[in-house]
Amino acid sequence: MLVNNGQQASFWLQNCFELIDKYMFHLHKVFFSPGLDIIESISDMLKRANKSLDLCVFTITDERLAADLVDCLERGIKVRLITDDEKIYDHGSAIMDLKNAGIPVKIDHSRYNMHHKFGIIDSRIVFTGSFNWTYTASKHNQENMLMTSNFDIVKQYVEQYEVLWEEMFKL
């Protein structure tokens, strides 16, 4: 009788794991540029955001991505942006426009660069890589981006973002 109960419990547990794996959200993709793969993937993910977007990027000059950030804000998504203090006034920079649209922006005050390039969507997806949010990055540069929903990786990025958000200065 004990063996039968043990077998039933084992079978039940195996079914639970199969169901969890089947319905669990998994995302692990790599993208490369030049080309539109990276920008289209970021744009698609921003459109799917439900609650929050925490972005930490060196610069933003690509108007398409800047417009997607404003769209997120207008849909009620909590958007926060960390960027480099020296890049906010570059020709074509969208940072001040994003700030004026209502997106909270924080910057470093350092002679060194805030050179991160990552974003966190709904605290469950991270995208990161060499990709700068510029027209040149998608049109000409050799760039890369990784998207993942790996819980441990996302958790580390969320924690680091919060550290940076506290350290940086409000624009």
**Is 84 designated active site?**
no
Q: Which of 29, 115, 139, 155 is catalytic?
A: 115
pLDDT at 3 (0 to 100): 56
Q: How many CB atoms lie within 10 A of CB 22?
A: 7
pLDDT in tens, the chain (171 residues): 455 777 888 888 888 877 776 666 788 999 999 999 999 999 999 999 999 999 999 999 999 999 999 999 999 999 999 999 999 999 999 999 999 999 999 999 899 999 999 999 999 999 999 999 998 998 899 999 999 998 889 999 999 999 999 999 999
**C-alpha span between 106 and 50 (Å, rounded):** 22
H/E element, 149: none
Structurally, what CATH architecture does the domain formed by 26-170 represent? 2-Layer Sandwich (3.30)
**Is 122 designated active site?**
yes
Sorted by where each begins, the domain ranges of the chain are 26-170
Laid out side by side, the sheet with 78-83 consists of 28-33, 143-148, 125-129, 117-121, 52-57, 78-83, 105-107, 169-170
pLDDT at 23 (0 to 100): 60
* The two three-digit tokens of residue 39, written as one number: 């920008």
**Is 117 designated active site?**
yes
